[in-house]
Amino acid sequence: MTGLVRRAQAYIRLHGVTYTLQRCGEKAAERVFGFYNRAWRQLAATPAELEAQRAQPIDAGLISVVVPVYNTDPVMLREMIDSLLAQTYGHWEAILFDDCSARADTCAVLKEAAARDARIRVHRGETNQGISGSSNSAVELAWGEWIALMDHDDLLTPDALYVVARTILDKQPDLIYSDEDKVTEDGRRHTDPHFKPDFCPDNLRSGNYVCHLMVMRKSLLLRAGGFRTAFNGSQDHDLTLRCVEHTDKVVHIPKVLYHWRTVNSSVSHQNLMKCVEAACAAVQEHMERIGWPGVAETENGNIRLKYDIKGKPSVGVYIFGEDQAAMESCRTAMQDDAWTDKVIHTVFIGPEGRYAAMNRAAEGAKEDVLLMMEASVTPLSAGLITEMLMYAQRDDVGAVTPKLIDRKRRVTHAGFAVGMQGGALCRQPGAPVHIGGWHLMLQKSHNVAAVSAACLMIRRDHFVPFDEGFRGGLGAADWSLVLAKKGMRHVLTPYALGCCENKAWLLLGKKRDEGDAKRFAAHWKDVADPCFSGMFAPDSGNYRLRSNYDYLHEQVR
């Protein structure tokens, strides 16, 4: 109970009393009504799908499921093993590596498992090595080309390895990860789905969103150096960071294939801050290795990155507006920004429109980096330029956007989700500025598919012209997708903060300029957002679950 009280106190410190009460109400409603638990019945593979997979076997090579075991509850261990034996993909092995368990009932279940199926291989270490050491020992014993990582008390869906194998055959990846959810300790209720984006490197540096189920080539794992004991608690995060330094063939399976058991005795529950500190160390080393060094430190329980700024790039601040007084007010505010090597320009928007004005400004710009903002934006953080510049300086980054809020301190822009109703929608609109939101995304720097023209930063050599045929906010979403086609990623950093309430540029409402909507649809037919899961309702950027997932099974029917 004491631990629960401490966690509650920490949550209140991070999110405030009002939001904490709101979340408690949502959690209570989930427990009583089981909204996601019912949705899971639609998401899960149907008996017909499972039977079809068994009737039409495929072979993508041997998949070795690596499971370090230590004093596992025998009921949970047996259920984990049952989930392996239920797989519709047959070409697998499981290496259950016992890290010197002292519980006789754990050892008994392991012995029983080895006798149940020859594909289950049980090994016992000579000394207790911890999670990283035992995982490395299990990998050494694996015969497969592919390594799947699994915890000793979690569960795979029956189609997990089949879907992985199908992905291997279809896409030839080096590393695969799937969506996941949590399952209660008694295994009866599914909660907290994590519908993930496709591979987003800035998300990964801010936290291990990849997590479960993760499958990789054994050769990649060994090339990356395996697990490192110094990062126990965040050893998977550290390994994933090192793996993606060696390959860009990372594939996300947008399907829940893994159930993470909510057990309060797990390391991540008991030593959360220790895990975050280990993750910070792993990320900081990663930043150094990829050539963009800096500092990764804990802030409010999250990872905050501070890249070193290379050289002394000049920044051109371009303030766009139709009212001289508003532009001068914004200029005065920007003069207080801590970045000294900046030149501030005010640009009148003429009859040619906002995007034409931005294009002309970029054409005549001399500075290394351009910060473009409308006059109605009020900077709320003194280091706004520095914070955005840390990301904009990178070779792989297109636009960087701050978190924008209104006068009531509610989110008005946190990046756009594209492919939504109306073409694009603001992500997490209306959320209080201090909360973390969906998987704490509002407190972490992360990738977004598109940004608003209300306030963005981009390197001058990365700039591409806006389509001047657009008149409203969809023009910036269109521009962002053009940059993405050139291989650029866009970043939202919540540590740069501004105030803006101009709905025309922020796509807060449902209405769109009719001409803009047609133009966007013509440019981006059937566009999917790599940073925002298609599992969410298309009429909301608030990560609301769909009401129906039957479309996932239409092919079987």
29-50 residues labelled b (16+ CB within 10 A) or e (exposed): eeeeeeebbebbeebbbeeebb
Q: What is the 3-state secondary structure (H, E, C) of 25-69?
A: HHHHHHHHHCHHHHHHHHHCCCHHHHHHHHHCCCCCCCEEEEEEE
In a domain, 240, yes or no: yes
Q: How many Å apart are CA 298 and CA 250, to the nearest integer?
A: 27
76 lies in the same domain as 175: yes
Cis peptide before 213 (omega within 30 of 0): yes
* Residue found under tokens 């150094």: 288
Domain coverage including residue 392: 309-523
236 lies in the same domain as 365: no
Q: How many Å apart are CA 415 and CA 427, to the nearest integer?
A: 6
Between the CA of residue 17 and those of 4, 356, 434, what are the distances in Å?
16, 46, 11
**Would you say residue 144 has pLDDT above 60?**
yes
In a domain, 415, yes or no: yes
CATH number at residue 82: 3.90.550.10
Instruction: Compare 275 and 362 and report the one with higher pLDDT.
Output: 362
**Would you say residue 22 has pLDDT above 70?**
no
In a domain, 16, yes or no: yes
Under the banding of pLDDT at 50, 70 and 90, the label for residue 7 is: low
63 lies in the same domain as 8: no
- Report whether 463 contacts 372 (CB < 8 A): no
176 lies in the same domain as 106: yes
In a domain, 557, yes or no: no
366 lies in the same domain as 474: yes
- Report whether 207 contacts 279 (CB < 8 A): yes
29 lies in the same domain as 43: no
Under the banding of pLDDT at 50, 70 and 90, the label for residue 20 is: low
- How confident is the model over 224-283, as pLDDT tens digits? 999 999 999 999 999 999 999 999 999 999 999 999 998 765 554 457 788 899 999 999
**Would you say residue 313 has pLDDT above 80?**
yes
Nearest to 549 by CA among 26, 193, 80, 72: 193
Q: How many Å apart are CA 258 and CA 266, to the nearest integer?
A: 17
Report helix angle 235-243 to 272-289, nearest 10. Answer: 20
- Report whether 337 contacts 310 (CB < 8 A): no
What is the DSSP secondary structure assignment for residue 536, as one 8-state letter? B
Q: Which helix (H) or strand (E) holds 433?
A: none
In a domain, 546, yes or no: no
20 lies in the same domain as 44: no
Average pLDDT, whole number, for the chain? 92
Q: Mean pLDDT lowest for which of 22-31, 449-458, 520-529?
A: 22-31
In a domain, 556, yes or no: no
The pLDDT value recorded for residue 32 is 56
161 lies in the same domain as 215: yes
284 lies in the same domain as 315: no
**Would you say residue 408 has pLDDT above 60?**
yes
438 lies in the same domain as 470: yes
Under the banding of pLDDT at 50, 70 and 90, the label for residue 548 is: confident
Q: What are the structure tokens assigned to 247, written together?
A: 């390959």
Under the banding of pLDDT at 50, 70 and 90, the label for residue 46 is: very high
Number of Cβ within 10 Å of residue 74's Cβ equals 16
Under the banding of pLDDT at 50, 70 and 90, the label for residue 509 is: confident
Please state the domain count of the chain.
Answer: 3
In a domain, 404, yes or no: yes
**Would you say residue 557 has pLDDT above 80?**
no
The pLDDT value recorded for residue 556 is 46
**Would you say residue 187 has pLDDT above 90?**
no
187 lies in the same domain as 47: yes
Q: What are phi and psi of 233, to 5 degrees?
A: 100, -35
To 5 degrees, how large is the angle CA 409–CA 411–CA 415? Answer: 150
In a domain, 298, yes or no: no
280 lies in the same domain as 393: no
Q: What is the 3-state secondary structure (H, E, C) of 332-399?
A: HHHHCCCCCCEEEEEEECCCCCHHHHHHHHHHHCCCCEEEEEECCCEECCCCHHHHHHHHHCCCCEEE
The pLDDT value recorded for residue 511 is 86
